[in-house]
Chains A and B, each alone.
Chain A
Amino acid sequence: MKKIYALLFFTVYAAANTLELTVSGAKNAQMPLTIMVLDETNKELNTIADIIKNDLQFTDQFNATKQLIANNLPKKELLKTIKNLCTTGTPLALCLNTPSKNSIEWRLYDTMQGTMIEGKKYKKQGNVIRGWAHTLADNVFKTLTGNEGFFSSRITYCKEFHTKTGKLARHIYIADFDGSNPELLVENSTITVAPRWNVDQKNPLIFYSEYADTNVRLMSVDMKKKTTIASDLDGINMLPGFSPDGKSVVYCASNGDGNCQLYHHTKGTLQSFTRNNGNNVAPIFIDNDHICFCSDAQTGNPQIYIGNMKTGHVQRITKGGYCTSPSFCHQNNTIAYHSKINGVMQICLYNCTTKTHTQITNGNQNKHEASWSPDGTHLVFAQELAGNSRVASLNLLTKTTKYLTPADSRCNYPHWSPRYTHFPVVV
Chain B
Amino acid sequence: MWLWQLKNIHKRHLLWLKFFSVCLFVHLTFLSWVFFIDHDTSHTISVSLNKHMDYSAPILFVPLKPSSFAKASADTTKQTTTVQPTIGATKKFAAQSKPVPTVQPVKKTSTPATTLTATKPAPVKKATPTPTVPAKTTPKPPVTKTIENKPAIASSCAKSSADKPAKKEVAQKTEPEQQKITPEKPVQPVAETINHTTPQQIIPENAQFSDNYREVEAMRRTALLQKELLNNWKPPVGMPASAACEISFTVDKNGTVKTTTMVKSSGIVMYDLSARHALFAMKMPQWTHGKTLTITFKQ
Contact = CB atoms under 8 A, between A and B. Distances in A.
Contacts, number: 160
Interface stretch (A1-9, A212-220, A254-262, A309-317): A1-9
Contact of A26 (B113, B117, B222, B230): B230
B97 interface: yes
Interface residues of A, number: 41
Contact of B226 (A12, A16, A23, A145): A23
B222 to A, nearest CB: 5
Interface in A75-95: 86, 91-92
Q: How large is the interface on B (under 10, 10 to 19, 20 to 34, 35 or more residues)?
A: 35 or more
Given A91-B277, A112-B280, A398-B237, A20 B101 contact: yes
Which of B30, B226, B273 has the most CB atoms of chain A within a 10 A radius of its CB? B273
Interface string A43-85: 0000000000000000111000000000000000000000000
A397 B238 CA distance: 6
B50 A24 contact: yes
B131 interface: no
Given A24-B55, A25-B55, A397-B237, A19 B230 contact: no
Contacts of B51: 24-25
Interface stretch (B102-110, B154-162, B187-195): B102-110
A325 to B, nearest CB: 26
B112 interface: yes
A13 B42 CA distance: 10
Given A5-B26, A17-B106, A59-B238, A24 B116 contact: no
B236 A18 contact: no
Nearest to B19: A1
A2 B18 CA distance: 11
Secondary structure at chain B's binding surface: helix, strand, loop or mixed?
A: mixed
A30 interface: yes
Contact of B236 (A31, A110, A143): A31
Contacts of A25: 49, 51, 55, 230
Interface of B: 19, 22-23, 26, 29-30, 33, 40, 42-55, 97, 99-104, 106-108, 110-113, 116-117, 218, 222, 225-226, 229-230, 233-239, 267-270, 273-274, 276-277, 280, 294-295
16 contacts: A12-B110, A15-B112, A18-B116, A20-B103, A21-B295, A22-B48, A26-B234, A31-B236, A31-B237, A31-B270, A31-B273, A61-B236, A118-B269, A144-B270, A145-B268, A146-B269
Given A21-B225, A26-B229, A31-B237, 11 more contacts: A16-B294, A17-B40, A18-B46, A22-B49, A22-B53, A22-B100, A23-B48, A25-B51, A28-B235, A31-B273, A397-B237
